Chain A
């Protein structure tokens, strides 16, 4: 199993550009999550999904969108990038038990 994979690893965006962060898991987990981590801080939940076709907002959803058309994939969309979205983005997945498994992260800079 590859676990949770994220692409790209790094990205620099200009203000106003759009992009999609990809997240895929091969563990057949129902639950998936997107977090952001600002420098020196803990993670904050952006969006989550409890299964294909079902998504909901977390703590900091503004400026982001998600979709979940398959169990494996949970892409995060930034429509109009702003400097405040400069962060490291982590995707995670979880089976019906409790522990979340994190991907390697995507480091995004918006200038």
Chain B
């Protein structure tokens, strides 16, 4: 079964702290995506990771991909309240790059002042 699992599902943290969200997936893929969703809103693309060892950074967020371990991480550095949202990873497990994404359950991040 094709599965994408995120850990943790809920994260409450203080401003200024660091933390990592993990995304494990069940079958071979080298195309992984991170999205952000604010309550009641659509999804905003954060990162596109397309090869083993890929690392992307934007502001306080850094994403990486280890295709051998079937693991991606989203690292948050010195969290601020504006980062409060739900974060999804999604894996393209299609054979022909048709973009058939399998999403994780999401990690809801709450950053407290």
* Same assembly: yes
The answer to whether residues A42 and B48 also contact, given A31-B98, A99-B33, A102-B43 and a CB cut-off of 8 A, is: no
Query: Are A42 and B50 in contact (CB-based, < 8 A)?
Result: no
Query: Are A98 and B31 in contact (CB-based, < 8 A)?
Result: yes
Determine, out of B13-21, B62-70, B77-85, B99-107, the stretch whose residues face the partner at the interface. B99-107
Residues in chain B near residue A105, CB distance under 8 A: 42
Q: Find B106's partner among A41, A102, A104 (CB 8 Å cutoff).
A: A41
Query: Are A98 and B48 in contact (CB-based, < 8 A)?
Result: yes
Q: Does A33 contact B (CB under 8 A)?
A: yes
Query: Are B101 and A98 in contact (CB-based, < 8 A)?
Result: no
Query: Residues 72-111 of chain A: 1 if any B CB is under 8 Å from the residue's CB, otherwise 0?
Result: 0000000000000000001000100011111111000000
Interface residues of B, CB < 8 Å — how many? 23
Closest chain B residue to A91 by CB distance? B42
Query: Are A90 and B98 in contact (CB-based, < 8 A)?
Result: no
Q: Find A43's partner among B44, B45, B98, B103 (CB 8 Å cutoff).
A: B103
Q: Does A52 contact B (CB under 8 A)?
A: no
B86, chain A: closest CB distance, angstroms:
9
Query: Are A100 and B101 in contact (CB-based, < 8 A)?
Result: yes
Query: Residues 41-52 of chain A: 1 if any B CB is under 8 Å from the residue's CB, otherwise 0?
Result: 111110010100
Query: Are B99 and A43 in contact (CB-based, < 8 A)?
Result: no
A41, chain B: closest CB distance, angstroms:
6
Q: Find B103's partner among A42, A56, A99, A104 (CB 8 Å cutoff).
A: A42
Query: Residues 1-37 of chain B: 1 if any A CB is under 8 Å from the residue's CB, otherwise 0?
Result: 0001000000000000000000000000001010000
Given contacts A41-B106, A48-B100, 16 further A-B contacts (CB under 8 A): A31-B99, A33-B99, A42-B104, A42-B106, A43-B88, A48-B98, A58-B100, A98-B31, A98-B33, A98-B50, A98-B92, A98-B97, A98-B99, A99-B33, A101-B45, A102-B42
